[in-house]
Structures are given as structure tokens and as C-alpha cells.
Amino acid sequence: MFGYDIVGSSSNEDDELDEMRRNAARYVEEAFAHSGVQTAHRANYSSTGDGAFASFPETDLPALIDSAHYLDGQLHIHNRKFLPPIRLRLSVHTGPLEVTDSHIFQRRTIELARGLDARSFKKITEQIERYRPPTIALIVSDQAYRVAVQGRYTERLHPHNFGELVVRNKEFTERCWVHVPGLDAERVKELTQDVELKTTSEPKQPRTHRNNKNRGNLVNGDNSGTLINNVNEGRYHA
């Protein structure tokens, strides 16, 4: 599974947003083509306004991670020539999904979104922007990282390009791995440790009690359905 979001889109004028969104989507597609993602097998596509989520066969998992490398180069060129600059947060996750035309988010898609929207992940990009605004920042779930990166299936991004980050976002808590171009694993680790320290030391807001009778774990709808194992010659785990 792959998701992306435009960083700081709300700070731009309304008449600039549509062009930013079109350009971001185009660059993502070009990066997929460079890294070898089989976009013909894409499923469960869902636009988020300033980004999108989609699932792919599990064989595309390494290429989805490597696409961040190509996006970095494309956005560097774009940002040198055009304003406003485009910067993206990217998220990659893996797990079983039901292939469907429904726009209801399934459990794995929600986990993908939780990583992308995690406060600690956003704080890392904010810290880096003080020195050098990054073109992209990538967060990869632990399972996807172990399978594709530690398993040495990626061609462009390797273990020394990632730093560990424990993500806590609502009900989602997981060890993840962060890549920011130009930073090695040690520097990313320093940033993630600093972010984790600040996040855990921040005072918690008082919680309000509410009726949890109908509380669910999904953004919208339920997660019922039969999990499939093989569609279009590949399991939809990425």
C-alpha cells in the first residue's frame, strides 16, 4: 500500500492548489514508472484531496519504497524552477486487503494513513525544514521494512537510509522506519529520538467521556469482507 500527502498545502492560495495537486500526482506516477511499480494492477484507490491511497500486488512492495528515491530527484528539479515548491510525505505499508470498488477504508488502509498523519512523523519534517526543506519524507511500517528493505529487495533505498521511529497515533502504535534524503540512519535516529522525547514529555489534554457503545476502529464503515489471496497474479499486500 502506498499513500502520499502534500506538505503545507493549506498555506498556498486556492488558485495554486489545483496545479500543485495535478503536478504531485503526475510526479508520483512518473516515479512509479521509473521504479517499476505495476500501476495497471493498482486497486482500492482513494483520493484524500491533497494526496491519495492505493494498494498494489505485494510484488510491487520494493518498487513502491524505491519510488521515493525518484520522487526526490523529480521534486528537486521542479522546486528549483517553479513556485510554490512541492514537498511530499509518503507512507508504505503491507498487509492483506479486500480488493473492492468501495471507498470504505479497511484496517490496513487506516494503518497506512495513521503512519502518514502521525504527529511524530510530521515533527521530523518540521525540524528538518529549519535547515533544508526536504522534497520528500518517507515512513515505512516495520513489516514492509523487514520484508523489502532488510530482505534486500529494494534497489535504491537500503537499511542505512532509514532511522527507527515508534509511531503512536490514536489506536495505532507501531515501530516504523523513516527515510529523509540526505540524512543517514544515525542522523534520522537522532531526530526521531528527539521527537519521541518531546512527544512523550508534552502534557496530555484532558479526555472527555463519551458513549463508546458504537465506537469503531474504522474511519468510515466496517471492515467486513473476505480477504483475498490472489488477484491479477499478485496478492494485494502492498
Please give the pLDDT value at position 174: 87
In the predicted model, is pLDDT for residue 87 greater than 90? yes
**pLDDT band at 3; cut points 50, 70, 90:** very high
Instruction: Look at strands 136-141 and 88-92 and give their pairing.
Output: parallel
**Cβ(71)–Cβ(31) below 8 Å:** yes
- The DSSP-derived string for 126-176 is HHHHTT---SEEEEEEHHHIIIIITTT--SS--GGG-EEEEEEETTEEEEE
Quote the CA–CA distance of 214 and 86 in Å, as a whole number: 40
**Cβ(56)–Cβ(41) below 8 Å:** yes
149: nearest Cα among 234, 65, 33: 65
In the predicted model, is pLDDT for residue 156 greater than 80? yes
In the predicted model, is pLDDT for residue 206 greater than 60? no
pTM of the model: 0.80
Structural domains in the chain, CATH included, are 2-199 (3.30.70.1230)
In the predicted model, is pLDDT for residue 99 greater than 90? no
Quote the CA–CA distance of 58 and 95 in Å, as a whole number: 9
Quote the CA–CA distance of 75 and 62 in Å, as a whole number: 21
- Largest Cα span, the chain: 53
In the predicted model, is pLDDT for residue 198 greater than 80? no
Please give the pLDDT value at position 218: 31
Quote the CA–CA distance of 170 and 168 in Å, as a whole number: 7
- Least confident window among 57-71, 113-127, 178-192, 223-237: 223-237
